[in-house]
Amino acid sequence: MKAVLQRASRASVVVDGAVVSEFQSSTDRACGLLILLGVEVGDSEADSVYLATKAADLRIFDDQDGKMNLALAEAGGQVIVVSQFTLLADWKKGRRPGFQQAAPPAEGERLYLHFCEEMRKKGLTVGTGIFGAHMAVNLVNDGPVTILLEARQGKPV
C-alpha cells in the first residue's frame, strides 16, 4: 500500500462539476492533508492501519515557532483521501504503464474505505473522493511538504 501525503492550505475534489470534499485555511497556512492512496495486490487491513496511524501521527505541521512539530489533529487539520491506483504503475518496460499490481476494484475500494475509517477513529475529519470516478483534485501544497509512505504486512517497506 502506498500513500502520498501532501500538506496543504486548501484542497478539494470535484466530480461531474460538484465539489464532493474540500478544506481551506483561513490563514493560507497548512490546515490539512491531501492523501493519495494506492492499494496493491496482497495489501491487508494491517497495512491500512499502519499507514493511517503513521499519516495521522507524523509531526509535519508547524508549531507556534514555525517548526514542524505538530501532528494533524494537534494542528486542528482535516484530511481528504483520494483513491489512486496509478501509484502502483509499472513503468519499467515500454512507454505505456501497466497496473497489474493494483488491487482489483472491490478489494481496492474495501481497503480504501478501511483506511478512511481508521483515520476517523483517530478523531480526524475525513473527506473522500468517489472511488472509481474521474476526479479533479485541487490543492495548494504548503511548504511544499510531500511525503511518500509505503507498507506491507503492517510494516514500512
Q: Which residues are catalytic?
A: 84-86
Q: Map the chain to HEC letters.
A: CEEEEEEEEEEEEEECCEEEEEEECCCCCCCEEEEEEECECCCCHHHHHHHHHHHHHCCCEECCCCCEEECCCCCCCEEEEEECHHHHCECCCCCCCECCCECCHHHHHHHHHHHHHHHHHCCCEEEECCCCCCCEEEEEEEEEEEEEEEEECCEEC
The amino acid at residue 23 is F
Q: What is the maximal distance between C-alpha atoms in the chain?
A: 49
